[in-house]
Structure 1
Amino acid sequence: MTNQDVVMAPDMAAAMPGSSGRAPLFACRGAAAAVSAAYHELVGAAAHVPAIRPCAGWVVEAMRASSPTRSPAAGTAAAPAVDGEHDAWTRTKLPSALGSFEQVAAAAKGKRVIVFLDYDGTLSPIVADPDMAFMSDEMRAAVRDVAEHFPAAIVTGRRVDKVHGFVGLSELYYAGSHGMDIKGPSSNEEEDTKILLQPAREFLPVINKAYKALMEKTKSTPGARVENNKFCLSVHFRCVDEKRWNPLAEQVKAVLRDYPELKLTQGRKVLEIRPAIMWDKGKAVEFLLKSLGFDDRGDVLPVYIGDDRTDEDAFKVLRTRGQGFGILVSKCPKETDASYSLHDPSEVMEFLVRLVQWKRRRSSSAMRPRV
């Protein structure tokens, strides 16, 4: 890893949330050396892993697995059964983070809560056109309040500049491209963010070549859309007729034959093509916790909220650490390493609002003079 791969300015703490007369929420332990050490401790020098060459059948099965059956329309005969199944799931396996908020608050008492948020399907609704996945003004206000009271980061498969444009808040940390492009607030008035880590920078030329090849190869499939997320590529098939999934899988497979440096993973209604290195959203969470001084503290409670299969890497990290918990956003029962659930982005917003209200009450009580 070169010095260009990791950049952290010593004055970053001045740009942290809460820096106006208060101690910064993110306590930076050093500059580039600390960040580099955290990265190498996690994965060495971003060791390459053999990319598995997917067969078209496997790809189609992955596409089906990431496309749960649509819930029946309200008022239909099947709707009560679906609702009952979801209620049983949240009651016996994955309780609601809202219904269990007192339990969440008890776990957070006396600890520094750190909030990690996915974007699509978590802060914004899933939409057919990924360029139209806007978050509401109310959600933005809720996230802004969270960033004012807690260290907070967006962890997404999107490219950083795109999701930063959607969110519109410069006080957050952003981990784009599934954590392969991590940026933080900048103290430079001309810059919104500063690069912290880009472990896959050497892959940019091959990713751009694969992007052009996929664009050309998939243009014959109506509804298919290829999104360049800088350090990874997304092949969206939400608008592709299921009868055309197999031809689309063949097209993706044909392109990947020429790029052994890349691997295929799946997300929600999307095929993800990434560099074949040991890095994911879970590693990004570990990196942020370690490099920013929260890794070896017992008074920290990381909370990660996400809806996608790719978020499971982060859920698993928190479960393995035995510190913090994941919250899965889903309307359908799923196998997950999360500890709690929320139904949709509206419930995510309600949870964030309640979290801030809890923090304000705690702060107010702590400031109240004792008689």
Structure 2
Amino acid sequence: MTNQNVLVSDVKGVAMAVAAMKNQSMFSSSVASSMIESGGVAGCIFTIPRSIKLLKVETAEVGGGAARVNAWVDSLRASSPPRVKSTTTSPSTLSQTGDEENSWNLRHPSAINMFEEITNASKGKQIVMFLDYDGTLSPIVQDPDRAFMSNEMRKAVRAVARYFPTAIVSGRCRDKVYSFVKLAELYYAGSHGMDIKGPSKSNKYKNANQQAVLCQPASEFVPMIDEVFKILVEKTKSISGARVENNKFCLSVHFRCVEEKSWAALAEQVSLVLNEYPKLKLTQGRKVLEIRPTIKWDKGKALEFLLESLGYANSNEVLPVYIGDDRTDEDAFKLLRDRGQGFGILVSKVPKETNASYSLQEPAEVKDFLRRLVKWKRLTLQ
């Protein structure tokens, strides 16, 4: 596969770059046209695989109104992804709830208990690991700036990266995630995959692109994100516990420390601000509202981009494994399920609606799974 780094500084540059890449058959005219329509790649450096589909601005309906705010508040009450809804109405629902949990566990069994099934599926294939950060490699904490991973978890991730290409895919700013993980040999996809960079060291994996991957499909939105960040900080400062985090290409409005009685006020403030910015959309994470550009890019697209960058476009010789705990990870889980290739693993202690194939209960189990994967790989190399 041939990749090319492309610097795009303005909309005119988009057209010139797209034309140049079309001449080299790097991707189709339909993809090229969508890039020009969106104008969403100005100021970007891309290492673009041959068949990746990029950028088309989608229409967002971020409108305000009491009905929408109430819907948001109802959504905020649920963890992300949402819990499986109980269909029971009987007063004696305890045993029935237990039956529902057992049913969910049968459909999403423990990745540790099903470890042999996972490794059997990898025979003759290269495992590629994708890991969410918050709630997966580190516990969820009240202060997002203190979501530190343990040294034991860092050792486990470093060991995994010795044998398998490994990426951290997070809603956080890429630099922030790197400051937590501190492993130069990984791929990092920050801002829900809108900021991707490869290892700073030489890559030893077969078929891997030796140049660092750098993809920032939402660069033109940075001034708008900065503007909205300042407005939201001002608008939410009267709501105790609310915190707005600037993740460069997206924003996070944390409400974990906000009393539930203030959730409606917070949702209303966010709604009023976003009414003025139709090119931004609102999604929900785990105790957080996510504000992102309205481009068709998410963690699933980031996974697809990285697989192609590693040389596994439309390949049957790869087994992607994605571990995450958040609603935003569902895009990646769904991609793997739709491809019929690889596995999603949801980190959750309770049954939740998910496209993942397997489950783990908490970061401690993620660490155990990663350690077991390394041990298995070492034994196969002996």
Bucket of the pairwise TM-score, normalised by the shorter protein: 0.7 to 0.9
Distance (whole Å) between structure 2 residues aligned to residue 322 and residue 143 of structure 1: 26
Unaligned 5+ runs, structure 1: 7-31, 70-77, 365-371
Output one character per residue of 1:193-244: Cα deviation in whole Å (capped at 9) or x when no partner.
Answer: 9561000000000000000000000001001010111100000001111111
- TM-score computed with the length of structure 2 as normaliser: 0.80
Q: 2:147 aligns with which of 133, 139, 164?
A: 133
Q: 1:229 aligns with which of 242, 247, 252?
A: 247
Name the residue aligned to 2:227: 209
Question: Is the contact made by 2:46 and 2:214 (CA closer than 8 Å) also made in structure 1?
Answer: no
Distance (whole Å) between structure 2 residues aligned to residue 343 and residue 284 of structure 1: 25
Name the residue aligned to 1:179: 193
Name the residue aligned to 1:35: 47
Output one character per residue of 1:247-305: Cα deviation in whole Å (capped at 9) or x when no partner.
Answer: 11101001101211100000011000000100000000001111220122212100000
Residue aligned with 1:278, SS: coil
Residue aligned with 2:48, SS: helix
Distance (whole Å) between structure 2 residues aligned to residue 338 and residue 352 of structure 1: 17
The amino acid of 2:120's aligned partner reads A
Change (3 A) 1:86 1:335: same
Q: 1:50 aligns with which of 54, 59, 62?
A: 59
Aligned-residue identity in percent? 61
CA shift for structure 1 position 36: 2.3
Distance (whole Å) between structure 2 residues aligned to residue 4 and residue 184 of structure 1: 19
Residue aligned with 2:351, SS: coil
Query: Following superposition, which runs of at least 4 residues in structure 1 exceed 6 angstroms of deviation?
Result: 80-83
Residue aligned with 2:47, SS: helix
Name the residue aligned to 1:12: none
The amino acid of 1:61's aligned partner reads D
Distance (whole Å) between structure 2 residues aligned to residue 254 and residue 316 of structure 1: 32
CA shift for structure 1 position 186: 2.4
Residue aligned with 1:42, SS: coil
Residue pairs, 1:72-91, within 5 angstroms: 84=98, 88-91=102-105
Change (3 A) 1:187 1:96: closer
Name the residue aligned to 1:286: 304
Residue pairs, 1:1-371, within 5 angstroms: 3-4=7-8, 35-38=47-50, 41-43=52-54, 46-54=55-63, 55-66=68-79, 84=98, 88-187=102-201, 194=212, 196-364=214-382
Distance (whole Å) between structure 2 residues aligned to residue 158 and residue 194 of structure 1: 20
CA shift for structure 1 position 312: 0.2
Output one character per residue of 1:147-175: Cα deviation in whole Å (capped at 9) or x when no partner.
Answer: 00101000000000000010010000000
CA shift for structure 1 position 61: 2.1
Question: Is the contact made by 1:264 and 1:273 (CA closer than 8 Å) also made in structure 2?
Answer: yes
The two structures, once aligned, show a CA RMSD in angstroms of: 2.5
Distance (whole Å) between structure 1 residues aligned to residue 152 and residue 103 of structure 2: 29
Residue aligned with 1:165, SS: helix
Question: Is the contact made by 2:279 and 2:294 (CA closer than 8 Å) also made in structure 1?
Answer: yes
User: How many residue pairs align between the two structures?
Assistant: 323
Question: Is the contact made by 2:46 and 2:215 (CA closer than 8 Å) also made in structure 1?
Answer: no
CA shift for structure 1 position 59: 1.8
Question: Is the contact made by 1:89 and 1:333 (CA closer than 8 Å) also made in structure 2?
Answer: no
The amino acid of 2:372's aligned partner reads R
- TM-score computed with the length of structure 1 as normaliser: 0.82
Question: Is the contact made by 1:66 and 1:266 (CA closer than 8 Å) also made in structure 2?
Answer: no
Change (3 A) 1:105 1:178: same
Question: Is the contact made by 2:343 and 2:356 (CA closer than 8 Å) also made in structure 1?
Answer: yes
Change (3 A) 1:141 1:85: farther
Unaligned 5+ runs, structure 2: 15-43, 84-91, 203-210
